[in-house]
Structure 1
């Protein structure tokens, strides 16, 4: 997970402690947004690769959307080698569109994983996919799956309420518009004070990168950003009463509660903070 990008990147660990080598050796890590590296792995190990697991929009090395053709390439490779394509939509589910990243980018995985977003923020997860795979799960198949909180009535009620809300026509329009305004506003405020910055936006997800690179599209670029400037910005925004994710490798999210007035106040706060950061 860490090699693929996660919150643990903040600690600079090259791999995930606690995972036995005997497990890790069965996993191949390839570069996000680099279909050639995926193809090279399949050229060498294709007949033995059971699946590809990917965040369709990487949210654990900040917010990095897929480049054109990347998700389509994964789908094509999986079809060719009869491997399962699994989308981890824990972050992207309901955030980049009502139907998740698979709807936004028009690429259908074989399995989808969803997290607490499906329960309105309550502790719940879900997975779904094609019938010929899911029929292997009990009671129709031999693979047992259960959990202490599975079907928890409070989580299910919260989830039903959330799903009812997002089914409203036009709900996403203002959220996506405000996300774009917020990200561009923060970037423009940084540039105003001579601070290099680029942004990524995917629906209601956004990422700000303290870098002079035009577009951040991979892990190497994300980990080469100026973390000292980010830390100064983060603490400055805290003093302004704005709470952002505390690590430069975490994506940001905008919700319906963040109306245009909140967006404007946040951009104004960022402008004041950048005025200070520029002199550090």
Structure 2
């Protein structure tokens, strides 16, 4: 596998971009080596600048549920671009996407479009504080909700990969209103609520954690969160930036039949273009300007290209049989990797919901951030590089998810599994 051009570009990038990348986990820090510079992508595959082609299980970190360069999505973007790329004014497409989101998520009566998942979460917490007239928030260790100051406390994702659970540059005052509890530990939540409920505006949680690897909620964990928050006048925020439209058309909250007060979305609703959204009950959302006093704005919010790509993507996902197909492909990949690990006698704990999956090189179960961190990251790095050499591109971090798309074929996954059987024997 030749990577000379990628290495050359990375060396040049480091002179003008911090770390040579525009998002930390792209740098291959946790697995070693130089990142691949991608030149093009089509369907289930990406091709780098050196001409190497890989079956892609990163999926741009989740958005490419229809695969890369889906013809219908590309045509829709081209049509939209020919009419102008940004207006700074309302469009019918914004309305259509908002209506589709509200129909898909029964908990969302009104929704505001923004430009990223970070912005969606930041704004949802602001309106939660405005609604409750309280300042504190509670988040869970290992759950990453974007890089806003008050959320970079025991965060997952890139912070976990780089060993930076807290970030320099975050004022103590910003973090002082953020309480943390272990994911899946309802007793810890009860204890914190008992002590602090009078100042708690909201509890924010990934209903399926996807930023410390994929960690599933224990039975009744989410339901008890809903009960506790209602009892104490605390808003419950589901961060479904990853799980929204990925694990089901109505996200994890539909799958688990839990109705949060606010929901944050991103990734898939932009069809591969930058987008975010937050929404919930009308009485909460009507506090947002220009109707109410809670201010939030954005020049590129509801960008016509992004919402057009999102509309076309959601149209495809709403058709019959799509999620059943994603389930089959996800099951095929996960079960195949599990068998390969077992045959090689390699400890490997798997987690999966539909086309969202994780795998930890650990003997024990993974139920929270502490248990996720017991995974053998050195072994994962070897797995990553050996799979890459054999044409399968997984996330360059133990603490990220793997995804399949509607265009991954059974033969594609068989090819990956054939390689995996050889790789696990060498770990």
Query: What TM-score results when the alignment is normalised by the length of structure 1?
Result: 0.96
In the other structure, the counterpart of 2:299 is 148
The CA distance in 2 between the partners of 1:14 and 1:172, in whole Å, is: 35
Quick check: 2:248–2:255 contact (8 Å CA) kept in 1? yes
- Confirm whether residue 205 of structure 1 aligns to residue 356 of structure 2: yes
Q: How many residues align?
A: 276
Provide runs of 4+ in structure 1 moved above 4 Å: none
5+ residue gaps in structure 2?
Answer: 1-151
Greater relative contact order (Cα 8 A, min sep 6): structure 1 or 2? 2
Secondary structure of the structure 2 residue equivalent to 1:114 = strand
In the other structure, the counterpart of 1:7 is 158
In the other structure, the counterpart of 2:182 is 31
Question: What is the aligned counterpart of 1:135 among 260, 267, 286?
Answer: 286
* Per-residue Cα deviation, 1:141-192 (whole angstroms, up to 9, x for no partner): 1122221211211111101100100110111101111101101111110111
In the other structure, the counterpart of 1:247 is 397
In the other structure, the counterpart of 1:275 is 425
In the other structure, the counterpart of 2:255 is 104
The CA distance in 2 between the partners of 1:14 and 1:201, in whole Å, is: 25
- Confirm whether residue 195 of structure 1 aligns to residue 351 of structure 2: no
The CA distance in 1 between the partners of 2:182 and 2:344, in whole Å, is: 34
In the other structure, the counterpart of 2:315 is 164
Quick check: 1:35–1:74 contact (8 Å CA) kept in 2? yes
Question: What is the aligned counterpart of 1:178 among 321, 324, 329?
Answer: 329
Quick check: 1:227–1:248 contact (8 Å CA) kept in 2? yes
Secondary structure of the structure 2 residue equivalent to 1:207 = strand
| Higher deviation after alignment, 20-29 or 267-276 | 267-276
Cα RMSD over matched residues? 1.1
In the other structure, the counterpart of 1:222 is 372
5+ residue gaps in structure 1?
Answer: none
- Confirm whether residue 83 of structure 1 aligns to residue 234 of structure 2: yes
Secondary structure of the structure 1 residue equivalent to 2:180 = coil
The CA distance in 2 between the partners of 1:80 and 1:103, in whole Å, is: 22
Quick check: 2:159–2:165 contact (8 Å CA) kept in 1? no
Secondary structure of the structure 2 residue equivalent to 1:276 = coil
- Structure with more strand by fraction: 2
The CA distance in 1 between the partners of 2:421 and 2:299, in whole Å, is: 47
| Higher deviation after alignment, 142-151 or 242-251 | 142-151
Q: How does 1:250-261 map to 2 (within 5 A)?
A: 250-261=400-411
Quick check: 2:153–2:178 contact (8 Å CA) kept in 1? no
Structure 1 position 7, deviation (Å): 2.2
Quick check: 2:159–2:166 contact (8 Å CA) kept in 1? no
Kindly name which structure, 1 or 2, has the bigger radius of gyration based on alpha carbons.
2
Quick check: 1:2–1:13 contact (8 Å CA) kept in 2? no
Secondary structure of the structure 1 residue equivalent to 2:328 = helix
- Confirm whether residue 118 of structure 1 aligns to residue 269 of structure 2: yes
